[in-house]
Amino acid sequence: MRRILVDLARARHNLKCGGGAQQVSLDKVLVISPERGPDMLALDEALGRLAALNPRQSQVVELRYFGGLTDEEVGQVIKISPRTVRSDWRLAKVWLYRELSRGVNDDA
């Protein structure tokens, strides 16, 4: 019985931590082009929603993705530690991926 309960707890923990979700970089989700295509518009809208929920994470995405700054440079600009930048970057990428994926699934 103990083994069953431990296995159930592990399974729940794995689901909470992503449970086999495939990690995809934000760079692979979007194709950058000189024109504002549907992907860029979707990203812009998603970043607007992220800014309403967490302005700092949105700012980290803008500085890292569009500005090309390093974790240390972003930290200096917005006065947070590089570790916090990495954490915000990771969480924002996951949030944006889910938002952008949701839009693709809604169209299908």
Q: Which domains does the chain have, with CATH numbers?
A: 22-107 (1.10.10.10)
Distance CA 93, CA 46 (A): 11
In 6-78, the DSSP E strands lie at none
Distance CA 86, CA 72 (A): 9
Sign of torsion over alpha carbons 64, 70, 71, 74 = negative
Q: Does the pLDDT of residue 105 top 70, yes or no?
A: no
Cα–chain-centroid distance for residue 17? 14
The mean pLDDT of 48-76, rounded to a whole number, is 93
Of the ranges 37-41, 43-47, 72-76, 103-107, the best mean pLDDT one: 72-76
Higher-pLDDT residue of 90 and 2 is 90
Residue 51 is predicted with a pLDDT of 94
Q: Does the pLDDT of residue 74 top 80, yes or no?
A: yes
Residue 39 is predicted with a pLDDT of 74
Residue 71 is predicted with a pLDDT of 95
Q: Does the pLDDT of residue 16 top 60, yes or no?
A: no
Q: Is 16 exposed, middle or buried (0-12, 13-18, 19+ CB in 10 A)?
A: exposed
